[in-house]
């Protein structure tokens, strides 16, 4: 692939994953009960399988990843997706060894992009690790993790996306193969024993203190020098930021934290 074709492919893919390339067509289902007509028309519509939808694609919001999109494969937005792309590209160009991984994938968009980078750069060795409960977030466990006290994202069914749905999303872009490795279950159960040798890009997107610290504890030691840690929720969630601060303090990490947008941040491991 020429350099130009590679960038065009990856740019187009990112635009598809966020739906930004056809945002004018993005709609959200709304409850048929809100149909202003009478009950009899409503039941006919229901019988015939009609849907009631409303426009749901504000470019200003989507570009900075500040909504839960109805169909897009990522809620991260363009700036954070591009940061994932840049980190993956840089470690390939600099020959930093190790796989790519995201902990907390939702519909899989960031990991789909990671797999596409491997394809675009003819990388024959690296794998992409896709770690999630595939049933949403745990309720915050304030006893063990005080920073998560009172936080409960487990009540949002929109955050529970099955592994089969994520596989289907990879397949939609012809990027599902044996180099995409699913780790299904709670991070505390899957990450410490995952058969991962080395990582070069580790993207954390589990929102909670618990989900962030469990990922760092299990995986940071496997990150190669020259590799990147990306923290999606660094600006958005105090709980996540606290986990990063605690981990860095306890392990003497002083690599510069670089902001990506209003929430995302990353650093490059120098030692
Ligand atoms: C905000 S979403 C991730 C968004 C995604 N990275 C994207 O690009 O759109 C958070 C995800 O983390 C997962 N998650 C959070 N904490 C977890 C834990 N402790 N164990 C397993 N999965 C977890 C949830 O199931 C959910 O899919």
Q: What is the pLDDT of residue 189?
A: 98
The strand pair at 223-231 and 180-184 is best described as: unpaired
Among all chains, which residue has been given the structure tokens 């994938």?
105
CA separation for the pair 183, 190 (Å, rounded): 6
77-268, CATH topology level: Rossmann fold (3.40.50)
Helix (H) or strand (E) segment spanning residue 259: strand 258-259
Q: Assess contact for 190 and 183: CB atoms under 8 A.
A: yes
Nearest CA to ligand 1 atom 19: 211
Pocket of ligand 1 (CB under 6 A): 74-76, 102, 104-106, 109-110, 132-133, 136-138, 159, 186-187, 205-208, 210-211
CA separation for the pair 206, 157 (Å, rounded): 15
Atom of ligand 1 nearest to the CA of 135: 25
Q: How many helices (H) and strands (E) does the chain have?
A: 9, 9
CA of 252 to the centre of ligand 1 (A): 27
Q: Assess contact for 234 and 264: CB atoms under 8 A.
A: yes
Nearest CA to ligand 1 atom 8: 74
Q: What is the pLDDT of residue 40?
A: 83
Query: What are 225-265's pLDDT values in tens digits?
Result: 999 999 999 999 999 999 999 999 999 999 999 999 999 99
What are the residue ranges spanned by the domains of the chain? 3-63, 77-268
Nearest CA to ligand 1 atom 24: 136
- Please provide the DSSP assignment of 29-79 as one string: EE-GGG-SS-HHHHHHHHHTT--EEEE---HHHHHTT-S--SS-S-SSHHH
Nearest 5°: the CA angle 153, 162, 144 is 35
The pLDDT mean for the chain works out to: 94
CA distances from 168 to 9, 112, 171, 172, 251 (A): 20, 11, 5, 6, 39
Q: Assess contact for 209 and 243: CB atoms under 8 A.
A: yes
Query: What are 10-63's pLDDT values in tens digits?
Result: 999 999 999 999 888 888 888 877 777 778 888 888 888 888 888 887 888 888
């Amino acid at each position: 692939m020429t350099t130009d074709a590679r960038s065009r492919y990856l740019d187009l893919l990112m635009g598809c994953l966020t739906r930004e390339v056809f945002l004018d067509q993005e709609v959200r289902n709304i409850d048929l009960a809100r149909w202003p007509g009478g009950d009899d028309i409503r039941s006919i519509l229901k019988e015939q399988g009609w849907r009631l939808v409303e426009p749901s694609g504000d470019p200003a919001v989507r570009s900075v990843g500040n909504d839960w999109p109805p169909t897009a494969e990522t809620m991260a937005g363009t700036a954070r997706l591009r940061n994932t792309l840049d980190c993956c590209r840089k470690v390939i160009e600099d020959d930093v060894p190790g796989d790519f991984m995201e902990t907390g994938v939702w519909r899989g968009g960031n990991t789909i992009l990671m797999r596409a980078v491997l394809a675009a750069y003819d990388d024959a060795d690296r794998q992409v690790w896709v770690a999630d409960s595939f049933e949403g977030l745990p309720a915050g466990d304030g006893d063990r993790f005080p920073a998560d006290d009172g936080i409960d994202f487990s009540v949002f069914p929109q955050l529970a996306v099955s592994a089969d749905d994520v596989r289907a999303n990879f397949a939609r872009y012809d990027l599902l193969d044996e180099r995409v490795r699913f780790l299904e279950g709670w991070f505390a159960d899957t990450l410490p024993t995952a058969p991962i040798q080395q990582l070069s890009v580790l993207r954390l997107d589990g929102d909670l203190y618990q989900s962030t610290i469990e990922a760092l504890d299990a995986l940071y030691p496997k990150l190669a020098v020259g590799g990147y840690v990306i923290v999606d929720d660094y600006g958005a969630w105090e709980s996540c930021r606290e986990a990063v601060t605690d981990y860095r303090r306890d392990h003497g990490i002083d690599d510069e934290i670089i902001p990506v947008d209003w929430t995302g941040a990353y650093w490059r491991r120098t030692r």
